[in-house]
C-alpha cells in the first residue's frame, strides 16, 4: 500500500533526473501528497518524455464518475495485468511517478499506528511504477493515475507487508516504452533492495493530509 508520499524537489531537478522534454510545469513542494490531488508523472508520448500533472486515483475510461478513483490509488503488481480496472493501462499506459520519500504506518501494540517516512539514504529522488488512464465524463478529459505495489523488502517488512514498486533508473526506458512483454514487465516489479533505503518514525502530525510542511518529515521526538 502507498497512500501518502513526498515530493519537495524543484521541477528543474526532475527534468535532469528523468531526461524530460518540453516546458517544466510549476511544482509546489509537497510534504504530504494525498489521494485525489494532482501529482507529477512522467509520460512518454510521441517519442519524448514529459512531465504532466495527473489526478491520483485511477479512473477507468468506462467509469460513470470520478469518485471511483479514490478507491484505486494503488494497483497490485501481481494482478494489475488481468484486473478490468487496470489491465488496459498496464498494457498501454505506464508512467513514472517521481517522489523523494513515502509514508507507511506501523501498527503498534500501544499507542495505535506509528507513521514512518521512507526514502533513499542519499536523499535522491526516485520513481514509483505507475499506470495512467484518460476519462471523459462529458466535460473534458481528466487524466488519472495509480501506483503499483509489491511485497515488502526486508526493511519495509518491519513496518508493513506491502510497498510501492520503485523502479531502478536503468528500467525507466523499458517501463515507459511499448515493446516490453508481460513477463518482462512482471520482472521489473520486484521489491526494491533494502540497502540504499532508510526509514524513521515521524510525528503523527502527518496523519492529517492538510498538514503539508517540512514538519511532516522531521524525525519523531
Distance set, CA 114 to CA 109, 110, 202, 216 (Å) = 10, 10, 8, 13
Q: Verify whether residue 16 is a known catalytic residue.
A: no
Q: How would you write the chain as a 3-class SS string?
A: CCCCEEECCCHHHHHHHHCCCCCCCCCCCEEEECCCCEEEEEEEECCEEEEEEEEECCCCCCCCCHHHHHHCCEEECCCCCCCCCCHHHHHHCEEEEEECEEEEEEECCCCCEEEEEEEECCCCCEEEEEEEEEEECCCCEEEEEEEEEEECCCCHHHCCCEEECEECHHHHHHHHCCCCCHHHHHHCCCCCCCCCEEEEEECHHHHCCCCCCHHHHCECC
Of 104, 133, 145, 216, which residue is the catalytic one?
104
φ, ψ of residue 200 to 5 degrees: the values are -150, 150
d(CA 160, CA 15): 32
Q: Verify whether residue 95 is a known catalytic residue.
A: no
Active site residues: 2, 104
Amino acid at each position: 500500500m502507498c497512500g501518502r508520499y513526498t515530493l519537495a524537489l524543484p521541477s528543474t531537478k526532475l527534468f535532469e533526473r528523468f531526461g524530460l522534454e518540453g516546458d517544466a510545469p510549476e511544482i509546489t513542494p509537497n510534504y504530504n501528497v494525498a489521494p485525489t490531488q494532482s501529482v507529477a508523472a512522467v509520460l512518454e508520448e510521441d517519442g519524448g518524455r514529459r512531465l504532466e500533472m495527473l489526478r491520483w486515483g485511477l479512473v477507468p475510461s468506462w467509469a460513470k464518475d470520478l469518485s471511483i478513483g479514490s478507491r484505486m490509488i494503488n494497483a497490485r503488481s501481481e494482478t494489475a495485468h488481468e484486473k478490468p480496472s487496470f489491465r488496459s493501462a498496464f498494457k498501454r499506459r505506464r508512467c513514472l511517478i517521481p517522489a523523494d520519500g513515502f509514508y507507511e504506518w506501523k501498527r503498534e501494540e500501544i499507542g495505535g499506528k506509528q507513521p514512518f517516512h521512507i526514502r533513499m539514504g542519499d536523499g535522491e529522488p526516485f520513481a514509483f511504477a505507475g499506470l495512467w488512464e484518460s476519462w471523459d465524463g462529458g466535460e473534458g478529459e481528466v487524466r488519472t493515475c495509480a501506483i503499483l505495489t509489491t511485497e515488502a523488502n526486508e526493511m519495509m517488512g518491519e513496518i508493513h507487508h506491502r510497498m510501492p514498486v520503485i523502479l531502478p533508473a536503468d528500467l525507466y526506458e523499458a517501463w515507459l516504452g511499448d515493446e516490453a512483454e508481460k513477463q518482462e514487465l512482471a520482472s521489473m516489479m520486484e521489491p526494491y533492495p533494502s540497502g540504499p533505503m532508510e526509514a524513521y518514525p515521524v510525528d503523527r502530525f502527518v496523519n492529517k493530509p492538510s498538514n503539508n510542511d517540512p514538519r511532516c518529515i522531521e524525525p519523531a521526538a
